[in-house]
Amino acid sequence: MPKVLMPIGDATEVLDTMYPYFRLPEDGFEVVVAGPDARLYHMVQHERPPGWDITQETPGYHLEATVAFRDVNPDEFAGLFISGGRAPEYLRYDRHLLDITRHFFAAQKPVASVCHGVEIIAAADVIRGRTLTTVAKCALDATFSGATYVDQPTVVDGNLVTARTWHDNTPFMKQFVRMLNAYVAGGAGR
């Protein structure tokens, strides 16, 4: 079964994470959750209450990372799924995760990034010259890193598919699964 790597940390957004966590196995992909350490992480829910200009964060479910970033062999994976939430704010400083991310882009393997996940791919310096989407409040992360930001539900640019928030999960995951299947059908990711 081809594997997809899912990096998380404390404050990873619940719906950004749990939808693909359960959706990818439906198409025959094993999801491997990684974190700064192999341990249980606390996810959060982000929702913009009526009248608010920004999201409110509330506690969510927990998810266990079975491997630490430093122990990941990216050659074993067909794809990379980067969730949002506040976790990318500090995960983007993990040199092991940045090296892993660069591997997926150098190898042209499918990469999905939603919401604040752009902070990781921006920090890895792999989005220059690309067009992508993300949550509007992270548009500067994209443009400061040399990408073109567009406000669309889902954008595909080469091996990268991006979405704004979990509200775009359906078209986002359809594109990512299509990319993974094409990658595996081409003889890679096995």
Other Cβ atoms less than 10 A from the Cβ of 178: the count is 14
Q: Is residue 97 part of a domain?
A: yes
Strands 40-47 and 56-64, bridge-based pairing? antiparallel
- Give residue 25's pLDDT band: very low, low, confident or very high (50, 70, 90): very high
Yes or no: say if 17 and 63 are a contact pair by the CB < 8 Å rule: yes
Give the whole-angstrom CA distance, residue 86 versus residue 8.
10
- Give residue 188's pLDDT band: very low, low, confident or very high (50, 70, 90): low
Q: What is the pLDDT of residue 9?
A: 98
Q: Is 116 a catalytic site residue? A: yes
Split into its structural domains, the chain has a count of 1
Q: Is residue 151 part of a domain?
A: yes
* 40: nearest Cα among 12, 3, 19, 71: 12
Q: Is the pLDDT of residue 180 over 70?
A: yes
The radius of gyration of the chain's CA atoms, rounded to the nearest angstrom, is: 15
Q: What is the pLDDT of residue 46?
A: 87
Question: What's the CATH code of the domain at 122?
Answer: 3.40.50.880
Report which DSSP code applies to 54.
S
Yes or no: say if 83 and 17 are a contact pair by the CB < 8 Å rule: yes
Active-site hit among 46, 96, 116, 167: 116
Would you give the end-to-end CA distance of the chain in angstroms? Answer: 7
Q: Is the pLDDT of residue 187 over 80?
A: no
Q: Is residue 147 part of a domain?
A: yes
Give the whole-angstrom CA distance, residue 168 versus residue 165.
6
Q: Is residue 190 part of a domain?
A: no
Q: Is residue 31 part of a domain?
A: yes
pLDDT tens-digit readout, 39-94: 999 999 988 889 998 888 888 999 999 999 999 999 999 999 999 999 999 999 99
pLDDT tens-digit readout, 44-57: 998 888 999 888 88
Q: What is the pLDDT of residue 189?
A: 56
Give this prediction's pTM. 0.95
Domain housing 65: 3-185
